[in-house]
Amino acid sequence: MSILVNENTKLLIQGLGRDGSFQASKTLEYGTNVVAAVHPGREGTKFENKVPYFSSVEKAVQKTAANTGVIFVPAPFAMDAIIEQVDAGIDLIVCITEGVPVLDMIKIMSYIENKPVRLIGSNCPGLLTPSTKTKVGIIPGNIVKPGNIGVVSRSGTLTYEAIAQLVQNGFGQSTCVGIGGDPVHGTTFTDVLQMFESDDETEAIVLIGEIGGTREQLAAKYIKNHVTKPVVSYIAGQTAPPGKRMGHAGAIITGKAALASEKNKALTNAGVHVVESPSDIGLRMKEVMR
């Protein structure tokens, strides 16, 4: 198996403007099962003569039984797109869009609470399962390889870096998940760790964090109590200057916990293999899996 996306994924792509179309093309090229494209005004035509367009998510779901949706619509309309997918009964929603206002995100989080739906993002690269060629988002298909390492990350391009190092050291991936870099995001490290822990195909995990927030500490706590598989982690931003502040209030709830050193400490205490240099992710995995 793998997590979240696999051979049963029927993908719907919403928002096929310049970036969305480019990514939709790449997704088809990679071999993912794309069943519907949603873009108002194009119903009756097909994307690249292959994927039928629909003017609403509800219609697309009725006709194609799409169960996973990826969103490329511009930030001002992202909240509407997410809510539309929730209301249409999509199980897994992946919002790639960058720059969604945080006040929209907190409303979305309230709206989906207690509904049978999972949101990944916004502002994330999405996810990819190499073994089934299922790409939901913008992670380049040509850098991954099927295998047994689960990757979860807050970053985009740094995730690609980690994947490249894994491949270089002979490791493929079960699933790669980018959860997004914004302060409010749908799926957390802890959610993904839980899935990797119970996934037979995943033998070890790479966790890429960043300074800010306390989600890495929550992940460390979860790993300590529930994760038996080895975890290699790297936290970006050790050298970011703490002096530059947005305002005092931020620091109150933030406290020291937002620092890379504090996150590394928590992860080390949880038995995680912490690397301090981003160039050591693949090498450390090799040592751990020896």
Partner 1 sequence: MVECACLENKYACKGIAGSNPVPSAIVKIIKVRTLNIHEYQAKELFEKYNINTPTGYVIDSAQEVESIINKLNGKAVIKAQVHAGGRGKVGGVKLVNSSDEGKTIAKNLLGSNLVTHQTNKSGVPIEKLLIAETLDIKKELYISILIDGDLAAPVFIASTEGGMDIEEVAETQPEKIFRVKCDPLIGLTPYLARDLSYKLNIPENSIKQSTNLFINLYKLFIENDCSLVEINPLIITNNEEIIALDAKINIEDDSLFRHKDLEKFYDPNQLDPLEERAISANLAYVKLDGGEVGCMVNGAGLAMATMDITKKAGANPANFLDIGGSADQNGIEEAFKIITDDSEVKIILVNLFAGIARSDVVAKGIINAAKETKSNLPIVVTMRGTNADEGLELLQNSNLNITTATDLFEAAKILTKILPNLGD
Stretch 48-67 residues interacting with partner 1 (CB under 8 A): none
In the list 234, 270, 274, 285, the residue contacting partner 1 (rule: CB under 8 A) is: 234
Give me the least distance between CB of 8 and partner 1, in Å please. Answer: 26
Which residues 253-272 are close enough to bind partner 1 by CB under 8 A? 253-259
Closest distance between partner 1 and the C-beta of residue 177, in Å? 14
Residue 155 interacts with partner 1 (CB under 8 A)? yes
Q: Which of 114, 225, 239, 290 binds partner 1 (CB under 8 A)?
A: 239
Is residue 278 a contact residue for partner 1 (CB under 8 A)? Answer: yes
DSSP string spanning the chain? --SS-STT--EEEE--SHHHHHHHHHHHHHT--EEEEE-TT-TTSEETTTEEEESSHHHHHHHH---EEEE---HHHHHHHHHHHHHTT-SEEEE--S---HHHHHHHHHHHTTSS-EEEESSS-EEEEGGGTEEEESS-TTS--EEEEEEEES-SHHHHHHHHHHHHTT--EEEEEE--SSSS-SS-HHHHHHHHHT-TT--EEEEEEESSSSHHHHHHHHHHHH--S-EEEEEE-TTS-TT--S-HHHHHHHGGGGSHHHHHHHHHHTT-EE-SSGGGHHHHHHHHT-
Catalytic entry in 39, 185, 226, 248: 248
To the query of whether residue 185 is one of the catalytic residues in this protein, the response is: no
Interface with partner 1, residue 181, by CB under 8 A: yes
Nearer to partner 1, 140 or 146 (CB): 140
Query: Min. distance of Cβ 63 from partner 1 in angstroms?
Result: 30
Q: Is 114 in the site for partner 1 (CB under 8 A)?
A: no
In angstroms, give the least distance from the CB of 16 to partner 1.
15
Catalytic residues: 248
